[in-house]
Structure 1
């Protein structure tokens, strides 16, 4: 069978990108990572992609008059390569309708909180400041709002007494690196169905998650 072609958008360290690249390399994830899209040439994720043999599309946002302008160029590149799924994995820029409309239902994001709680930046810090006992990870479709798209999967992470932001972040990111490849695998195998705000994952897939 033809592998699902994905593009990963990332801006920073790239640990989620690495988790996807490793899963694809060892056969746990049956996809083709066609492209990394990054808005920072010096970001460590760029070196990770090059090491994994993944093509990189780096752009400088300030060189364009608007978000729509650079997204138009990115869209053309994605379409040229036949990309079928966009994965936002630590991409720190707002996505406009230029990408949302053609990729609606084919663009997902991983967020370090149990949405709809603590959307936006610093979800882990927000959870600590609020004093919740449980936070977690959400993978959701992108609809153009602030982490407001339909939720595909969530996994909880306990907040321990005396947790530092660094300690909680390490546990949350570990779960991100487990949940994101799992969700992509379900999408690639056709087990995920989007109907309005409701997302259904096939029962056999949910059982296999463990």
Structure 2
């Protein structure tokens, strides 16, 4: 069983999806800790209710991003994780931090990367008149939202859609594909080697797998 540490800043819905998949034995891993930079993160309560260790490390208590990331790294490593999962962790991470976890840290981003890196992705897709949007799971590298994509899921955008309607479709797909990717890693089927993603020894394409 692989040991998983999840980082959150908010509701922790993706953390919950992964935890449920672990309980259902759809992920051959165990969430051993959930860490947040915000004490108010609702996901902490959900994790604690499942008996998962929770930690709060507020970035406001540190003078620099580097100092915060150094302490966060020490905290994460105290749980001896095989995998670190970013699930709505609203922090830009330093290069030293991302290099330390290279090949064993995932992020989920609400767009079809490389489109719409950063924030407000649903509104940006609507403003651009896009007819489809989606979500990407990728390995974390030093480039913000720029690590190699593992898996994407597309959702339609209909005329008259609101941000909330698009977001709801995206969330549904997030909760489906993130546990899947985590399980591939836990089964040692998925690897990052030389900047390339391999699944069962086969190199994935530039945008990883795409699924409707």
Query: What is the TM-score with the length of structure 2 in the denominator?
Result: 0.91
Match of 2:130 in 1: 132
Moved segments of 4+, more than 4 Å: none
Cα deviation, residue 49, structure 1: 1.0
Cα deviation, residue 58, structure 1: 0.4
Offset from partner CA, 1:66-89 (integer Å, 9 cap, x none):
122122122112222211111111
| Equivalent residue in structure 1 for 2:86, among 78, 85, 88 | 88
Distance in 2, Cα, partners of 1:129 & 1:86: 33
Distance in 2, Cα, partners of 1:118 & 1:73: 30
- Name whichever of 5-14 and 68-77 sits farther off: 68-77
- Name whichever of 175-184 and 146-155 sits farther off: 146-155
More helix by percentage: 1
Offset from partner CA, 1:11-32 (integer Å, 9 cap, x none):
1111111111111112111111
Match of 2:159 in 1: 161
Distance in 2, Cα, partners of 1:184 & 1:121: 23
| Equivalent residue in structure 2 for 1:22, among 20, 23, 27 | 20
In the alignment, structure 2 segments of 5+ residues that lack a partner are none
Cα deviation, residue 203, structure 1: 8.5
The SS at the match of 1:92 is coil
Cα deviation, residue 103, structure 1: 0.5
Q: Are the aligned partners of 1:13 and 1:44 in contact in 2 as well (CA < 8 Å)?
A: yes
Cα deviation, residue 160, structure 1: 1.4
Query: What is the TM-score with the length of structure 1 in the denominator?
Result: 0.92
Whether 1:191 aligns to 2:189 is yes
